[in-house]
Structure 1
Amino acid sequence: MSKEYAGIISRVNEGSLAEELELVPGDKIIAINEQPLRDIIDVSFAMADEEIDLTIEHADGEREIISFDKDFDEELGVEFESAVFDGIRKCANNCYFCFVNMIAPDMRDSLSIKDDDYRLSFLYGNFVTMTNMGPADFKRIEQFHLSPLYVSVQCMNPELRAQMLRCKGAARITEQLENLEKAGAEYHTQIVLCAGLNDGEELERSIREIAARRPHALSMAIVPVGITKYRTDPYPLQQFDREGAARVIDMVEKWQKKFQQEEGRTFLYLGDEFYFLAGREVPPTEFYDGFPQLDNGIGLTRSFINDWNLTCQNSDMSNGYEEPFVIDVVTGTSVAPVMEKLAKSLQVKNLQVRIVPVENKHFGSTVNVSGLLTAKDILDTLANMPEADKRQALIIPEPALRAGEDIFLDDMTLQEFTAHFPNIRVEPVQGGADYYHALTDWANYHKNRSGETAYTWQSNAGYTKPVE
C-alpha cells in the first residue's frame, strides 16, 4: 500500500468553489476521484474532470467525501501550506559554491532548506541540478507536460561538474538534458561562474554545447559566485574582480553577437553584477529577449530603469513639494549608483533624495544585493547617518522582505522595523514605477502588499514568486 499524503489548505479564496463547498484553512485534501495526491500538480490535473469526488480530512480528524460537478476549467480556489505534499526533494550535492551552506548560523530553518526538486523548478522557477532524478521523474515530466524547467548546469565538462557539485552523478549532465528533451520539455539554464574554475575555456565549451541544444535550451544565464563571511568550505573559491568581470563580458558579447546574427535573439545573458563589477552600463532592453530569466536577476536593473522611464513619460511631476522634503532611500551597495542616477534625473521642487547604500555586515561586504539586506544592518546604517534627524520619509527595498509575511531575513517584522521611526512613514519599493511614484508623490504613495502570496526561499539565494 502506497503512503498517503495530503495537501493542507492555508487559504480559501473569496467567491471560490472551495468557499461554496465550505472548505476552511486546516482542511486536508487526501484524494480527488480516488487519486492520491503528491503535490499541487496532481491536484491541478485531477481537478480537470467535471465530476469530482473530493476526499477531505477536517482538523478534528473526521473524513468525508464531497461530490460535485464543475466546469472543466473551474479551479478549486485554495492555497496550500506547501506545493509538495510528500516533502521537498532535498539536494544530494555538496557544491563548492552552495549559498545555503554559507547562511549565517541561528537563522530560521527555512533558509537552510537545500531543495533540488524538479516540481519546484516547473512551478516556481527554482534551478535544479537533476542529479537526484531517475526514469520515473522524466516519465512524469512527459506525462504532465512539465515545461519549461530551470537547470543549474554550472559546466558541460562532466568531470569538472562532478568535482564542483561533489557528486558522481553530476557527470551525467548531457544524458540528463537528453532525457528532458525526450520527455518533450524545454529548459532554461544557469551557470554560477567561479573565477579560475569554470570560466575561460570551460565557459566557452559550456556556451557552445548548451547553444547546440537549441531550441530545447531556451536561454542561458551566467551569474557570478557569491561568497558570504560564513563560508567554511575548504575549497578556495575566488570571486571576480573588475578586470575579471570585464574579461567575462567581452567574451560573452562575442557569443551574444553570434547568436543575434544566427536567430535574431541574444539567448545568452550575464547577471547584472558583472556589469557593476566592471563599471559598465547594463545592456539595452533588446539584449534581454523579453527578460526570460528576470526572477533569476537577469536584466533586473534594465527592467527597473525601463519601468522608471515609462512612468516618467506618462506622469506629471510638476507640482513638487510645498516645503523642503527629505527622502532617504535604502539600497544594496551594488545598485546604489543606479538609484542615485535616477533620483538626480528628477527636477522636483523642494525634493532632496539621499541614497543610503547599506554594507551587508550580516553576510559580509561581498554580498551587495538589496534582497539580502537584514533589518539590523539597515537600522545600524540609518542610525549612523549624518543629519539623520532631517529624514522625513524612508524607502526600503521590497526584495528584502518576504512577500505576504512582511519579515526580513533576520526575522524582524516590518512592523517592528517601522517602530524605530515613529515620526515618519516607511514604504517598500519594488520596481521603477514604485520608485518614481514614491519620490514624486510621497503623500499618495503606498504599497499594499496584503494580497501577495508568500515567497519561497531558493537555494540560489533569491526569492521567486509562485505561479498562480
Structure 2
Amino acid sequence: MLKILHIHPDSIGDELELEAGDAVLAVNGQPVRDLLDFHLYSGDAVDFLLEVQKKQGELWDLHIERGLDEDLGIEFEHPEPTQCGNNCLFCFVHQLPRGMRRTLYVKDEDYRFSYLYGSYITLTNVGEAEIARIISQKLSPLYVSVHATDDQLRARLLGQKTPAILPLLKRLIDAGIELHTQIVVCPGINDGEQLRKSIIDLQTFYPGVRSLAVVPVGLTGYRRHLPALRVPSREEAAAILDTIDGLQNSFLVRSGSRFVFAADELYLKAQREFPLAPFYEDFPQWENGVGMVAMFRQEAGEALAAAQPLALEEVSLVTGESAAEELRRFAENLRDRTGVHIRVHVVRNTFFGGQVSVTGLLTGRDILEQLRDKPLGEALLLPAVMIKEGEDLLLDDLSLTEMERELGVPVEKVAATPLGLVAGLEVMDEILHGEEP
C-alpha cells in the first residue's frame, strides 16, 4: 500500500475527504506497492477506481474523475532508494565535501528512479525479481551507465565484480525495454580503443539502445584516499571528439541516427565549436549535459523576438564558469530588446574545489562570498538548476530568503533557458515597477 502524506486544499483529494495517514491499496483492482505502481496504474487516466484504507482502518472505494493533466492534489510517501553497492573509481558521492544536505550523500541505484526521473543506474545491483518487474511492467525507457562493454574493465571502473553487461542489455531490449546509456570517460582507462569498442558494441543494439552519451569524468578537490584520476586535457578531449565524429557519420548512414553524442563539456575542453541543434536529433541526452548549448542558442532567437522593453534598469544573473560566455552573449542581445542591463556574475565553485564548473553545483556560500560587495542592481536572478525543487534551498541548504537578507536585494529563481530568463525579467519588472492597485 501507498501512504498519503499530504492533501492540498481545494484539490480532488480534498473533495474526496482523503487525509494524511490514509493509504491507497489498489488502482482499478491492481495492488499498489509504491509510488511507481500508482504512477503506472493511474498515469494520465481521467477516470479510475481507487481503493483506500482510511487511517482509522475503514475501507473506501472511490471513483476518480479528473480533467486532462489535472492534478489530484495528493502527496504520497516516496520510496527509499535502493543503495548502490558499487565502489566506482569516479563516484561523485565519495568526493563530496561536508556541509551539504544529507540526501546528497546517498548513493542510490534504483531502477524505479531511472524510469520515473531518468537517473542513471549500472544494473549491477538489480536482482532477478527487479528484472522481472522491469519486464512485466514495461518500465521503459531506462537509463544505464555502461562505462565500458569489456566486462573486466567495467568491473575495475565499478569497483566490484559485475554481471556481463551486453547479455543483460540484450535481455531487456528483447523484452521491449528501450535504453539510454552513458559512458563516463576516465583518461587512460576507458578512452582510446576501449571507448571506440564500447560505442560500437552498444550501437549494435540500436534502436533498443536508443542513445549513448560520452561524458568526461567530474572531479572535486576532495579525493583524499581515492584512486588517482584526472580530467581530459585539451588534446585528449579532441581525440575523444574525433573518435565520436568518425563513428557518428557511419552510424547515420547505416541506421539513420548518429546514436552517440559528446557532452558539451568536451567541446569546451577541446576548444571546438558546438554543433547546431539539428545535429542532436531529438536531444535524447539533453539532461545529461549533451546539446544544452545548441538548444540554448536555438531558443535564444525565439526569446529575443518575444522580449519587450521593461522598466527595470539593472539586474544580476548568477552562472557557473562553463556557461558564462553563452550567457554574456545572450544578455547583451537581450539588453538591446528590453533595455535592462544584465550583469552576469561568474561564480567560481570553491566549495567543491577541483574542476567543477557547472551552474547546477554552485552553493549559497560561494555566491554570498563572491557577490557580497558587488553591484547587483535591482534584483538577483538564480538559475533554477541550483535550487532544490519545491523548497527554495541551495545545495548547502541556504534559502533564497536568507540570500535576500544577506545581499540586500530581491532574489528570483528563473528557468535556465533564454525564455526562462525573459520570464524572470518580466516577473521582477512587475514586482518592482508594476502599477499600484
TM-score past 0.5 threshold: yes
Which letter does structure 1 place at the counterpart of 2:209? Answer: A
What does the per-residue CA deviation read over 1:289-348, in whole Å, with 9 as the maximum and x for residues that have no partner? 111122222212222222221122344x4x4658xx332221001110111121223425
Structure 1 pair 395/177, CA: closer, same or farther in 2 (3 Å)? Answer: same
**Residue in 2 that maps onto 1:100:** 93
Aligned mates of 2:171, 2:107 — CA distance in 1: 23
**Residue in 2 that maps onto 1:403:** 389
Is 1:413 equivalent to 2:409 in the alignment? no
SS in 2 for 1:8: strand
**What aligned pairs does 1:319-398 form with structure 2 within 5 A after superposition?**
319=309, 325-346=313-334, 347-348=336-337, 351-385=340-374, 388=375, 391-398=377-384
Aligned mates of 1:14, 1:88 — CA distance in 2: 31
**Residue in 2 that maps onto 1:115:** 108
Alpha-carbon contact 1:343-1:353 (below 8 Å) kept: yes
SS in 2 for 1:68: strand
**Residue in 2 that maps onto 1:227:** 219
Aligned mates of 2:412, 2:66 — CA distance in 1: 42
**What aligned pairs does 1:11-410 form with structure 2 within 5 A after superposition?**
11-12=7-8, 14-16=10-12, 18-31=13-26, 36-47=31-42, 52=49, 54-58=51-55, 62-70=56-64, 77-84=72-79, 87-169=80-162, 171-315=163-307, 317=308, 319=309, 325-346=313-334, 347-348=336-337, 351-385=340-374, 388=375, 391-410=377-396
SS in 1 for 2:251: helix
**Residue in 1 that maps onto 2:435:** none
Aligned mates of 1:275, 1:46 — CA distance in 2: 42
| Structure 2 residues without counterparts, runs of 5 or longer | 433-437
Which of the residues 4, 7, 10 maps onto 2:6?
10
Aligned mates of 1:92, 1:294 — CA distance in 2: 27
Q: How many pairs does the alignment contain? A: 427
Aligned mates of 1:182, 1:349 — CA distance in 2: 53
1:411 Cα shift? 0.4
TM-score with structure 1 length normalisation? 0.84
Aligned mates of 2:123, 2:305 — CA distance in 1: 45
Structure 1 pair 263/14, CA: closer, same or farther in 2 (3 Å)? Answer: farther
What does the per-residue CA deviation read over 1:30-56, in whole Å, with 9 as the maximum and x for residues that have no partner? 455786533223224555897746232
Structure 1 pair 408/71, CA: closer, same or farther in 2 (3 Å)? Answer: closer
SS in 2 for 1:235: coil
1:434 Cα shift? 1.9
Which letter does structure 2 place at the counterpart of 1:416? Answer: E
Which letter does structure 2 place at the counterpart of 1:9? Answer: L
Percent identity of equivalent pairs: 35
Aligned mates of 1:51, 1:280 — CA distance in 2: 53
Aligned mates of 2:33, 2:344 — CA distance in 1: 47
SS in 1 for 2:352: coil
1:357 Cα shift? 0.8
| Structure 1 residues without counterparts, runs of 5 or longer | 447-468
Aligned mates of 1:240, 1:11 — CA distance in 2: 49
Aligned mates of 1:439, 1:51 — CA distance in 2: 42
Structure 1 pair 28/67, CA: closer, same or farther in 2 (3 Å)? Answer: closer
Alpha-carbon contact 2:28-2:50 (below 8 Å) kept: yes
Alpha-carbon contact 2:4-2:19 (below 8 Å) kept: no
Structure 1 pair 349/158, CA: closer, same or farther in 2 (3 Å)? Answer: closer
Alpha-carbon contact 2:86-2:158 (below 8 Å) kept: yes
1:222 Cα shift? 0.9
Aligned mates of 2:179, 2:322 — CA distance in 1: 29
What does the per-residue CA deviation read over 1:83-128, in whole Å, with 9 as the maximum and x for residues that have no partner? 43xx321111010111111222242221111111111111110111
Which letter does structure 1 place at the counterpart of 2:82? Answer: R
Alpha-carbon contact 2:2-2:32 (below 8 Å) kept: yes
